[in-house]
Amino acid sequence: MNSSFGHHTIHQFDEELKALHTQIIEMGELVLNQLCLSLESVKYMDLSLAQGIIDREKVVDEMEVSADKTICAILVRRCPKGSDLRQVLSASKIVNCLEQIGDKTVKLANFVVLMHTTDQVNTHYFSLEDIYRLGGVSIEIVQSALEAFEELDAEQARQVVQYHLTLDQEFQKALHHLIDFLQAEKSNVNNTVSQVLMMKALERIGEHARQIAELVIYQLEGQEPTHHLPDLVEDFPVD
C-alpha cells in the first residue's frame, strides 16, 4: 500500500506531504555531499575543505529544525492516518538520522583540523586505506538509502539493509588491521585511537543509513523496523 502525494480530498494536504518529502531529499543530498567531502578532506588532508564542512553543519541543523516544523504543522493541522501517518512518523525519524550522519561527517573533518593544528599532516604513521574503503561503502549505503526514500522503493530499501552487513564486516576487518599495526608500532597509540574513532563514525553512518532504509519499508508497508541484538561472535562487540 504505497503512500501517495496525490488525490487527497484536501489538495493542500497533498502539497504539504510532497513538500516534506522534498525537504528531506534536499537535506539528504546535503548530508551525502558533506560525507563525500569529509572523506575527500581526509584523503588530501585539506584543511579549508574540512572547515567548510564544519561551517555547513549549521545548514544541516537548520534543515532539521525546518523539517521538524513542517512535521509538527502536519500533525497539528491534518491529524494524519494510515500511510500518511506512517510517512510523517518515518520523516521525523529519517530527519534525525540525517542530522546524526551530518554530525559524524563533522567528526571526520575535525580529524583533519586536528592533524593540521598538531602538525601531523605529513607525519602520521598509519595507512588510511581502511578509512577510504569504509568511507566508500558508507557513501554507497547512504546514497542507496536516500534513493530508496526518494523513489519510495521498498525493494531497494531491503537491499540497503542487507548491504549494511558488508560495512559491519569491513569495520571488523579494519579493527583487526589496526590491532596488528599497534602490536608492531606501539608508539602510535594516539593516532590509532583517532583512526578507530573515524572508523566508528563511518560505521555509525552506515547504521543510520540502514535505519533510513527500514523506515522507508515501514512507511510503505507498515512493517515495524527490526531491533537486532548483537550476535555472540568472535568479533569485537561494537555497537
Partner 1 sequence: MQNDMSTIDLTLPSSSFFNFQISRDRDNDLVAFGLPRMQCANVSVYYDSKLAVDDVNLKILPNEVLALIGPSGCGKSTLLRCLNRMNDTIQGCKVSGKITLDDQDIYASDMDVVPLRVRVGMVFQKPNPFPKSIYDNIAMAPRLHGLASTKAEMDEIVETSLHRAGLWDEVKDRLKQAGTGLSGGQQQRLCIARTIAVNPEVILMDEPCSALDPIATAKIEQLIDELRKEYTIVIVTHSMQQAARVSQRTAFFHLGKIIEVGATEKIFTNPSEELTERYITGHFG
Q: How far is the CB of 200 from partner 1 (least distance, A)?
A: 35
3-state secondary structure of 8: coil
Please name the residue that has the C-alpha cell 561472535: 233
- Toward partner 1, which CB reaches closer, 28 or 80? 80
Please name the residue that has the C-alpha cell 512535521: 71
16: contact with partner 1 by CB under 8 A: no
Return the number of other C-beta atoms located less than 10 Å from residue 141's C-beta: 26
3-state secondary structure of 82: helix
> Residue 165 phi/psi, 5° resolution?
-60, -35
Rounded CA separation 37/42 (Å) = 9
**C-alpha grid cell for residue 166?**
558488508
DSSP tag of 121: T
Q: How far is the CB of 224 from partner 1 (least distance, A)?
A: 9
228: contact with partner 1 by CB under 8 A: no
- Toward partner 1, which CB reaches closer, 93 or 107? 93
Q: How far is the CB of 95 from partner 1 (least distance, A)?
A: 20
48: contact with partner 1 by CB under 8 A: no
- 65-124: contacts with partner 1 (CB under 8 A): 79-86
170: contact with partner 1 by CB under 8 A: no
Q: Which of 126, 30, 17 is nearest to 77 (CA)?
A: 17
226: contact with partner 1 by CB under 8 A: no
Stretch that binds partner 1, among 7-15, 103-111, 114-122, 201-209 (CB under 8 A): 7-15
- Toward partner 1, which CB reaches closer, 83 or 100? 83
Number of helices (H), then strands (E), belonging to the chain: the values are: 6, 0
- Toward partner 1, which CB reaches closer, 45 or 85? 85
Q: How far is the CB of 2 from partner 1 (least distance, A)?
A: 10
Run of H or E residues at 57: helix 47-78
Rounded CA separation 86/180 (Å) = 47
> Residue 138 phi/psi, 5° resolution?
-65, -35
Q: How far is the CB of 10 from partner 1 (least distance, A)?
A: 6
Rounded CA separation 152/149 (Å) = 5
- Toward partner 1, which CB reaches closer, 9 or 122? 9
186: contact with partner 1 by CB under 8 A: no
Q: How far is the CB of 182 from partner 1 (least distance, A)?
A: 50
10: contact with partner 1 by CB under 8 A: yes
Residues lying near partner 1 in the complex (CB under 8 A) are found at 1, 4, 7-10, 13, 79-86, 222
